[in-house]
Amino acid sequence: MLGKTSLARLKGVHADLVHVVKHANQLANEKGYDFRVHEGLRTIETQREYVKRGASRTLNSRHLTGHAIDFVPLVGGKDNWKWPAFWPIVECFERAAYELGVEIECGARWKSFPDGAHVELSRKVYP
């Protein structure tokens, strides 16, 4: 179950993505996995800082419009930023989106700049 902090971080995020996050969390919990929302809506100042640090490559982030979230897997109740922890949850996000009829992209599947934590609404459907 998503905690208060995760739910607060969904404020300003597109309703379709919020539904996907909540359903993915339910699916993950059923399989014994858990995650929290690390970040949702982001300011341009924060985005500029991420680009400066190399954590992002664009000032055109979907976080700026509420079309993306970042999550972090929880293992033993603690954040786990290691790649293997992301995959089962990415699969839950993809299944949740499919079941809800919402098109998403998971940054873990990106070839040029993989971002395990990132989930966004498809630009094709949600420009």
Number of Cβ atoms within 10 Å of the Cβ of 122: 14
- Average pLDDT value for residue range 41-60: 93
Mean pLDDT estimate for the chain: 96
The model's pTM? 0.93
pLDDT value at 1 more than 90: no
- Average pLDDT value for residue range 58-70: 95
Q: Which helix (H) or strand (E) holds 104?
A: strand 104-106
- Look at residue 55 in the predicted model and tell me its pLDDT: 87
- Average pLDDT value for residue range 67-78: 97
pLDDT value at 100 more than 90: yes
3-state class (DSSP) for residue 59: coil
Domain ranges of the chain: 4-121
| Residues 77 and 33: beta-carbon distance below 8 Å | no
- Average pLDDT value for residue range 9-29: 98
- Look at residue 36 in the predicted model and tell me its pLDDT: 97
CATH number of 4-121: 3.30.1380.10
